[in-house]
Amino acid sequence: MDVLLKNQKCHLVEKLGIHFEKKEGLAPVAARVFSYIILNGKGGTTFEELIENLCASKSTISTHLTHLQGLNKLKYYTKIGDRKKYYIMNHDSMVQGINKTIEDWNKEMKIHQEVMSYKLTVNNLKETLNEEKFNVEFHKDFIEFLDKTIESVKEIKNRIIKNHQENN
């Protein structure tokens, strides 16, 4: 591999690793293992490659591979006549992550709907008392934003699923 490309890959493994540490709560080495495997693509990554390129011990790499498989983030395949396992990202984990995000956004949207409903009820009472009313425009705008975002993400998820099915 070209030195410049290898350096870029190392930089991306680190950058993605930090991202997965924060976003997924992965341990630092697990995050780097996952990142390295993502950057290797469909060709897969062997146990030996991970030890060599991440400068970690066999037991450390083994522990994190087992953990990542348990989280359903990785899977492996073997080649006929080859005893090695080739680890790849589990496509389903990306879809699961998208589903979790959509679920979280739906929960947040429902909370805003409840708060807005409460404020509108209070506003109706305040109207008879000539008191200052709640402004509910923020809630309306945020609910609309979440609704449109969820629909867009669902469309992207469906394209991801379709593309994966066509390529496998």
3-state secondary structure of 58: helix
List C-alpha distances in Å: 61 to 1, 45, 136, 139, 146: 23, 12, 52, 47, 39
Same domain membership, residue 76 and residue 105: no
- Over residues 71-98, mean pLDDT: 92
Last residue of a domain, one of 67, 89, 111: 89
**Which band of pLDDT confidence, cut at 50, 70 and 90, is reported for residue 32?**
very high
Q: State yes or no: pLDDT of 58 exceeds 90.
A: yes
Same domain membership, residue 54 and residue 65: yes
Same domain membership, residue 100 and residue 133: yes
What is the predicted pLDDT for the residue at 98? 94
Mean pLDDT for the chain overall = 93
User: pLDDT, tens digit, for every residue of 128-163?
Assistant: 677 788 999 999 999 999 999 999 999 999 999 998
Same domain membership, residue 85 and residue 100: no
Same domain membership, residue 133 and residue 110: yes
Task: Identify the burial level of 168 via C-beta atoms within 10 angstroms of its C-beta, where 0-12 means exposed, 13-18 middle and 19 or more buried.
Answer: exposed
Q: How many domains does the chain contain in total?
A: 2
Last residue of a domain, one of 40, 65, 89: 89
By the 8 A CB rule, do 76 and 86 touch? yes
Q: Is the dihedral of CA 100, 149, 167, 81 positive or negative?
A: negative
